[in-house]
Structure 1
């Protein structure tokens, strides 16, 4: 948990970002300090057995004063806990809309049961280690100072658990039941492979089917490790518990989950449990209707002897599906020609293999269509650039560099030597350098890139052991930086705060005088892992970059990295490749993001859920909405901009080199990083992220964040200087 000092630092950051007034900051700071005192009192009361008998109710606010949650409705309750739908009031202040969360609460009337509270906290610890798409995400845990109740803050799920599905249907078709358990098997395989964890309380109530069909595994509260577990051996639900579960001499094994999954599958198909409390078999008409091989496979799954069960839930499902396949009769075999027989799937796993092959072909076909569209767009862009170049040649006489230089020579020696003029001189020379190579009018065109990228490159390490990130080489050029009045009014209409918009003005022309290469994607998990292994870097924040709480593969952008960590990475990369890597300046980042566009987004005046990863419950212009991803997405999940750069909008906020300033007054106009003045404790973030409203994704948006902090919404990309 964060300390009171950490929470006060975050409040100060919100105040500096304009999201909290001074009065609000002072009031909430005092609340944090009060909570630290009350938490100590509540802990002492719990230790002495004191508790309150007041129950929870809708509309009640729980949590410490600086992070409150308003209860909306009771979702479910069990022997030890209640699960409530709630609104996160802190996000209501920060984002303008309250995030929906689920609170798993150890209720006030049980606040004296220290062992039950400990199990709830163990669930939080286990679940935060498991970042998988089919395991419910647990964000944090906290305690309500007034009641002493401990609770988990979890992802809110919209749908129903398998218990409700079984009651509603009376029983499912075998293939449908197996399909619902496939994601559960994947989650259990992941928990075992990554952490050696066994769930130990697998039952229909702990499997949740969302409205969009996604399946989530809940409740790792009594999960056991192969190295031992603190939870009692007989923990779990009796109807699904294996006979050996109560043996304290046995370490938790996957056979426990296999037994429970087999009982679940039997109940999902037949609507009843396979045996009573004494493990005597129950008769069921639906069970008798199942083919004998299927019944045999299910009975093997909940066999009393663990060694007779399949080694995993995935293997159990494979055997059940194989047993359900019709066996060919002798007459069919005799009448079937030999070539057809050889083409028929002969292995039990042929049906899943066929589905995977069909899915692979569909993905390949879709990728071919996307590549054809990209090629068409490249050809259109090439023709446009040729036209622009021809027009530029006709106008070159009016923009010759010698005329620009003549203007510079006309300045007095005192003016040229003045410190304030040094930056202007450099920028005007940059204008002179690019004047004959870049069309002026097209540089501000809202729908087309004025210059083509110079291609891609990827530097090998000097020892030939690996490669750095993939880069796109961008040409020198000029663009309008910031936002105009029309865009600002549209942002206000979309709910943007005036203090944020003031950072984007005055809009000004920036000239970037030389080519540079920038990461095609944000730095990936694989890139960061190579750095960690080579340098033994240790994180300083609360977010685990390798398990941030949502699924991350090697292709996802790394998160949990602060600005200083990013500086270490670019220095290390420079050493390994022999090239000059650094962070992008804010101007370089916006130039790369816009790719010649002058609209709020590089895709036009609006942005859609299929173009970027953001909180798609909201829309920029009140148009298209979707289902939010609730985490980062892998590289290539969305189309690139006109220069081939991906995820410039959304996915993760990206660190740049610049210090945070309240406006562009006095900003460099040569594309360099602005590092003098401003708030030296904060650096600029660009691009928005997966959790944010689309108004934060605009090309011009500037966010300031403490350089020493990190979270699961911030990453970065690199720049390499081009000789």
Structure 2
């Protein structure tokens, strides 16, 4: 098969071997004696895009965008020359952008006949419009991921004094990587302006761009529109208007449509900040928006989530009773052996040692068990030293705490265990041996109360002092394994590093408990996978904290409870043993779970 590249040809597909197009009579040849057009990928009013073979690149595939002169250009050599100069300058700028896996690399640009051509690498995948047609609208998790994937790329483009100019779901490709888990969004079709071209796509462009001006904030506006459309599934239809936009009021309506009603206040604030009509009142740069998102992460210590009481399922709190700690259990204990891993500054394994721990197994029925590990009492330094990388002021002052013996779950509570006790399936990432998540603090307390009633033992959430003592397990390094963390040891955002560590896998989901080596107490996944609720209310720092392992009750922020350990979606700094997070007691999200303590 051969393809005629005359833009006006009605039947451009020709059999192999013909010299002239059988439809329009145009001579069929490779563009620049190099590019063999294979098929048409898409067509616009003044351009069309082809899939082609680059015969000088070991017959690799590429895309060719053909820009067709407007009627005004055809009758004015001066305008056409200005258009060609504009095209060549823009193409030159694009070709000089730093190499980046999320920007389609410019291979070539040229003029042939009366047409202009831009050649880019071919990136297989689905554009986001196709993606939601196949899998449904984006949820909040995917929107946050989209923002965090694309904002660094836009920042790179803007730092080169360029704007994308044509952001829409059709120009964002979802590329699935080889590990079938990690994906990245790839930006395509950076705008090549020409004199005489129509206004930008009115379904995505801000007013200043429609009137001929463009700023970095213009791209951010278009990105906000993309997010709103992906959340709601509302795309403009020819001759049917736009359900997402009220032209009379000049208002985007995504917040009141299905998909927009159930998002967190943080995402509402971000999208509303992107969709401001006045440029100066909008987010001004991709870096500014990324900093805002990171601030949200540090404040809540989780990725994102809904704390809007009008948009979350109401879950009734129960009264809470905390029994006194007993140091001598009145039931027999078993003993298990395990190996503990230590790593060096760069994450390399430098030692393994044999350890043992005492435990008992709670039989929940139907073959479902809960292992509780004996944590010996002791004294340790709670909080982090001022020299620890990535620490927060909330971890100060470091102070000595004496902990009484107690029992703590070997693993975070699993979905299998939760379903047995609570008869419910709240989790986002389903799997019987994955940690239960999307449970509020009140629900975790209710689980403990029901478990206590069933077993006649005193189950509860660990205090914050107990949790950190158990996580550190007689270590003084940021992690129980050493000075850094690797994705062979914990489930977190492996695209980020701590200290002198290296990048690893970003799984983007929870995994079964017991997958990683235990700490010296025999506890698993104290770093990453899911955040874990503690019994204490939140305090901004440790000023006035108790010196024993009791609950620190007095707080001006009683509505917030402590979260510890980090999650599958966090930077490793949030997975440190001393890291402190907080969440509203009614708050539930897909990276929040818990483990139980027993007196």
- Normalised to the residue count of structure 2, the TM-score between the two structures is 0.46
- Normalised to the residue count of structure 1, the TM-score between the two structures is 0.38
Name which structure has the greater RCO, CA cutoff 8 Å, separation 6+: 2
Structure with the higher strand share, 1 or 2: 2
Structure with the higher helix share, 1 or 2: 1
